[in-house]
């Protein structure tokens, strides 16, 4: 059976901890499409930044708010990607 949003999110978390941006991006987006959450959006944005997918990063970054948005902006800047305000 297809994985749930929560299962995809857990795979995204584990991939990010392992330094695997490609899998983080894949699973975070699968999770977001089933059930959008701030955490999945943050992980997808971080992974996009790490892989230098500027447009994808900017697109998902716009859906973040508050501390999550600030934290993600800083992390993306460290990866050399400017996602905006």
Whether the full predicted model's pTM is greater than 0.85, yes or no, is yes
- Position 85 confidence tier, pLDDT thresholds 50, 70, 90: confident
DSSP tally for the chain: helices H, then strands E: 5, 0
Residues ≥6 apart with Cβ < 8 Å to 38 = 64, 65, 68
Residue-wise pLDDT for 16-53, tens only, equals 999 999 999 999 999 999 999 999 999 999 999 999 99
Residue 61 burial (CB < 10 Å; 0-12/13-18/19+)? Answer: buried
Q: Calculate mean pLDDT across residues 49-71.
A: 97
């Amino acid at each position: 059976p297809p994985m749930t949003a929560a299962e995809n999110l857990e795979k995204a978390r584990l991939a990010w901890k392992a330094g695997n941006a490609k899998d983080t991006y894949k699973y975070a987006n699968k999770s977001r499409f089933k059930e959008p959450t701030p955490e999945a959006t943050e992980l997808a944005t971080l992974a996009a930044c790490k892989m230098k997918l500027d447009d994808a990063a900017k697109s998902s970054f716009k859906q973040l708010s508050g501390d999550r948005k600030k934290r993600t902006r800083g992390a993306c800047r460290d990866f050399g990607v400017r996602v905006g305000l």
